[in-house]
Amino acid sequence: MSEETVINAEQACAQVWAWLGEVPDPEIPVISVVDLGIVREVAFDGDTGEWVVTITPTYSGCPAMQVIAEDVESALRAHGLQRVRIATRLSPAWTTDWMSEAGKAALKGYGVAPPVQQVIDISALKHGVKRHAIQEPEVPCPHCGSRHTLATSQFGSTPCKALYRCLDCREPFDYFKCH
Amino acid sequence: MDANNAKVEYLLRQGDNALILSQQLSQLCGKGPALEEDMALTNVALDLLGQTRMWLTYAGELEGHGRDEDRLAYLRDSREFRNCLLVEQPNADYAQVMVRQFFFDTWHYFLMRELITSTDRRIAEIAEKSLKEVTYHLRRSGDLVVRLGDGTPLSHAKMQAAVDELWTYAGEMFIYDAVDEAMVAQGVAPRAEPLLDAFLQHVGEVLAEATLAMPSPSAYMQRGGKQGRHTERLGYILAEMQVLQRAYPGADW
């Protein structure tokens, strides 16, 4: 492969990533599937002439995955890529650590508190089952910024969220929990 | 039994456990004792359903008879299901729902933690994905056991009754048969003894905090679900879960 071809391939890849950055998450439309960390790899398969987009599920039962795969495919087709293949990858398992800073800011603007801490290494979770060893994180209210908030439910309207309420502005809000 | 058949059986057990418990929790949708509990039950059901799909898809591929996740879930009869008896116990009251969940989550957590180092790469990947969700499930069910056990006299009595009622179904997962032993020999699955020790220790700690009496670990344990010998209850669960595919075979969205 000549140097020029390599550069072109890199540019093409960057272009596909940019297009994918405009594909919204179907359930939280202010954040793109790239900012959410769902898109893991973009590659051109020279043998089949296909663009292969590798995605990973957030939660194994997330009903949005099929919609995301379809949205990614149709977005790339709309930009003129006719041969697109969506591959799924399970490992390493998706983590909120992969969410971009831009994505977190967009979540906050949308009224959803973004994940507040880095996820601990699950391979050594012996202490994870000790309920008192777990410090519930301090989650700032996305509406008024107060740190005076309380978890009302560990599960929210989608698998990725928990329910909180602010003790100052009194508003309830969703928290995109660390995973 | 050859190695491939044993692995298919083992995968069906994982998938069917998650599937039947998911179906049972789904039946509580809209009937939870509080809105938050209702959402938690259905969220856990959804996680388990996602895990079911990964297990059953793999089982169908290895089996090699062209059965996909849907055919395995909707077109097998109760004798072909490989779930343990615990998950088919009824949603009798909320105490039983939570104790069933707590026993299951504890076993599930320690098993997934071992399976992430399985010699079967795909099993290890499914376990890695599941473990994060299962950890969250276990935190919640442990919390609820403590809050209800160490709650009012009435909630305490109901929780103790549920623990005593369900204990006899909590041991089947640790009673290994030829399938389990074949998986251990291949390095696919962990041995029973360390799993059982971890299970008893964690259950003991949580029940103690919940001021609930722990039943005897040497009590007689019911068995048979893993080999397809189920309680009558599974038939009713399947009747509801499978009705559409039974009435309209091959129906699709």
Extents of the domains making up chain A: 3-94, 99-176
**Is B231 part of any domain?**
yes
**Structural domain for B216, as ranges:** 3-247
Q: Are B108 and B169 in contact (CB under 8 A)?
A: no
Number of residue pairs across A and B with CB atoms under 8 Å? 84
Name the minimum distance, in Å, from the CA of A103 to any CA of chain B.
Answer: 22
Q: Give yes or no for residue A132 having a pLDDT over 70.
A: no
- pLDDT one-digit tens code per residue, A10-47: 899 999 999 999 999 998 999 999 999 999 999 999 99
CATH 3.30.300.130 matches A3-94: yes
pLDDT of residue A5: 65
**Is B119 part of any domain?**
yes
pLDDT of residue A121: 46
**Is B252 part of any domain?**
no
Q: Give yes or no for residue A156 having a pLDDT over 70.
A: yes
Name the minimum distance, in Å, from the CA of B55 to any CA of chain A.
Answer: 11
- Residues in chain A closer than 8 A to B47 (CB atoms): 59-61, 159
Task: Assign residue B142 the CATH number of its domain.
Answer: 1.20.1260.10
Q: Give yes or no for residue A165 having a pLDDT over 60.
A: yes
Query: Token pair for residue A64?
Result: 């949005």
B128/A90 CB distance under 8 A: yes
pLDDT of residue A3: 62
Regions of chain B short of the pLDDT cut 50: none
Residue in chain B closest to A91 (alpha carbons) equals B125
Reference B1, options B182, B173, B131, B150; nearest CA is B182
Name which of A132-146, A158-172, B150-164, B177-191 the model is least confident about.
A132-146
**Is B133 part of any domain?**
yes
Handedness of CA B92, B93, B99, B102 (dihedral sign): positive
B126/A123 CB distance under 8 A: no
**Is B213 part of any domain?**
yes
Domain count, chain B: 1
Q: Give yes or no for residue A160 having a pLDDT over 90.
A: no
Name the minimum distance, in Å, from the CA of B157 to any CA of chain A.
Answer: 23
- pLDDT one-digit tens code per residue, B210-229: 999 999 999 999 999 999 99
Which positions ≥6 away from B127 have C-beta within 8 Å?
B112, B113, B115, B116, B118
Residue in chain B closest to A177 (alpha carbons) equals B136
Integer Cα distance of A129 and A127 in angstroms: 5
Residue in chain A closest to B114 (alpha carbons) equals A123
Q: Give yes or no for residue A127 having a pLDDT over 50.
A: no
**Is B253 part of any domain?**
no
Q: Give yes or no for residue A118 having a pLDDT over 80.
A: no
Is 0.95 exceeded by the ipTM?
no
